[in-house]
Structure 1
């Protein structure tokens, strides 16, 4: 589904890719709602079924996809620079199907220690039950080479990582993987969203995005997408069909509407997040701010080399004398930051998180409590004033 847009910049791609062609067409694709597709003859039905068996586009049955979904897949594929993209009902559905399309009983999977928590649970609780051995490696790759086994089939990474946003040197990881036969590299690209980061162009085989986040951008759709190179496409598409994954054309339409403004939203959220992060670094109650776009962040050099920008997601570590209860009170004092899971929408969010609970290799003993902030499209001065008010109240509580 890769369209002839390779020379265009990302902001232009998301404006033009996946749009209807012709003399008299609507600007946006229609919402094609259907379960049943009827054909003029048995010959045309058989032709469509044969095409679908070859994973070509085209209507066969509602579960097999819609023109609306195919338009969105075209946009994502153009951004990611892959062979084809496939939609899923959530980011986690996309992740698990991508993994299952690669591994079989007897295989070994290596997963970055900074991965999204449900990935850890899926690997430990499900994959090991089906005979797939799983182990974890440090985000800085210091132990990766020693942990690759003869039966290692998949290396799963996320850059930057969840919660603390550790950067992974993907080209170095790919080099280690490709020194061994038959090792597939898959990347969770939700943070970069295809706009800021393109793992497939850096050597990865599979890129997964929780489109629920920045691609949709309005906190109203659950959606995932997987993009692959040609040699991984058939296995992914077959697994998606076997597991019955499908996406509503209404959800695909909403995501299409969201993705058209992806570049302007992320640019604004990066600018505001950087202002917030720099302000937080100066606050006495904050010991560390985790945000790769900060010049003194440990992963800044990799981020600057491999990424074209950042987003609105950052975390801050409080001083060790600030208790978990005090951090909860801080979050509850905020007026412009909602309390909730997810991120990537237009609104700001705050959530206490626990690095120690979702790491098996990285130690957090003796460190402070952490709050993850998602910076939305509000004015930075208002967000900073809100944070300042909450920090002042927190400081008064500690002094009292």
Structure 2
């Protein structure tokens, strides 16, 4: 063969590494183009659930490894990966709903799930209603023959109510309605979403891998797991329609984070409980919201299903004597807490919320009982440093 140009030599280099190499990290495969051994393989159709590498968007050995490990974590059979937690929410709703269908969501649902439902799904002719996650009887009465999907969230976003998940699932099962849970808070650690009680579990479990699975506050990714092959096919088909894919470097980072997830989850949970209990004793605080605390909304429902965990979040409702501006000043005074969204990374975070326009049903407290809410996400700092930081910021409230 005649001498080839330098570019040609680099692209078609003959070197192949010797067999026998192995290492702890999963190799990171980066590809858009996937090469076929011959034209017969190129023309061979993809049949049923048989996977064949065809294009990088549809999966690489790295992404399939992560999907398999996420399925194991969630005690599921199938898993798909998408670019973010919000993408996982949108994928699930679009894959399972059509014009004329109805979806029910808890009133404390993740804000972006509410936004997608109210703005996008409604535009597509898909109806919705919000329900009280603590009232299974009222929820059951809401369902109609058009109800096709019910979203569950354990615990609820920001206000941390733990739903009557067993009662809600009994009602859905009696009517044959598909259930999807936002399981980001539980992360496959707090409970088995597919068997919350004998013979009773959700149909799909989604997570924002941005949170606990990554643990580094540096990745955006989502996953949807299921035990049902038919539901998995519908998700997979919708992924192809939407062109969802995940980047190889992001896959690498989540794979790196998964082995330490149980250690981080337990460490952050322990610190969270310590600080939540301490905040209950502070004069400026009206109430602390955390499913593992007696008196927090849904505590008994959490006890009924919890196996091992309660996450890294709690919310503190300040007494109404303190204005929103004063609570903002408290947050600004914190030194070990960053101000920013997301959670489950190494740094603790604090965010004040105005829930006035984000709920359809009344909040669990009246204006006379509580004022501004601050959600705390506890990271991996020393818990005594965090407590001291909270104390100095609270002292400024007077």
Cα distance in 2 for partners of 1:242, 1:387 equals: 48
Q: Does 1:201 align with 2:198?
A: no
Stretch deviating more after TM superposition (353-362 or 316-325): 353-362
Counterpart in the other structure of 1:315: 315
From the superposition, tell whether residues 210 and 337 of structure 1 become closer, same or farther in structure 2 (CA, over 3 Å).
Answer: same
Cα distance in 2 for partners of 1:105, 1:393 equals: 53
Deviation at 1:246, TM superposition (A): 0.3
Aligned counterparts, 1:208-223, within 5 A: 208-223=206-221
Aligned counterparts, 1:1-400, within 5 A: 24-47=21-44, 49-51=45-47, 54-140=48-134, 141-181=136-176, 183-202=177-196, 203-230=201-228, 231-307=230-306, 308-363=308-363, 365-366=366-367, 367-395=370-398
| 1:257-315 residue CA offsets vs partner (Å, 9 max, x unmatched) | 01110000010001101110011000000010001122332322222221221121110
8 A contact 1:291–1:313 mirrored in 2: yes
Cα distance in 2 for partners of 1:56, 1:245 equals: 20
Cα distance in 2 for partners of 1:291, 1:150 equals: 35
Gaps of 5+ in 2: 1-18
Stretch deviating more after TM superposition (198-207 or 97-106): 198-207
Please say which structure displays the higher CA radius of gyration: 2
Cα distance in 2 for partners of 1:58, 1:263 equals: 33
Cα distance in 2 for partners of 1:331, 1:284 equals: 17
Over 3 Å off, 4+ runs: 55-58
Instruction: Let me know the Cα RMSD of the aligned residues.
Output: 1.5
Cα distance in 2 for partners of 1:376, 1:353 equals: 20
8 A contact 2:46–2:52 mirrored in 1: no
What is the total number of aligned residue pairs between the two structures?
A: 370
Cα distance in 1 for partners of 2:124, 2:56 equals: 31
Stretch deviating more after TM superposition (296-305 or 97-106): 296-305
Deviation at 1:142, TM superposition (A): 4.1
Deviation at 1:353, TM superposition (A): 1.1
Deviation at 1:24, TM superposition (A): 4.7
Stretch deviating more after TM superposition (108-117 or 295-304): 295-304
TM-score normalised per structure 1:
0.90
TM-score normalised per structure 2:
0.90
Cα distance in 1 for partners of 2:293, 2:315 equals: 12
Deviation at 1:365, TM superposition (A): 4.6
From the superposition, tell whether residues 324 and 142 of structure 1 become closer, same or farther in structure 2 (CA, over 3 Å).
Answer: farther
Deviation at 1:147, TM superposition (A): 0.5
Deviation at 1:58, TM superposition (A): 4.2
SS of 1:265's equivalent in the other structure is helix
Cα distance in 2 for partners of 1:74, 1:24 equals: 22
Counterpart in the other structure of 1:15: none
Deviation at 1:71, TM superposition (A): 1.0
8 A contact 1:266–1:311 mirrored in 2: yes
Gaps of 5+ in 1: 1-21, 396-400
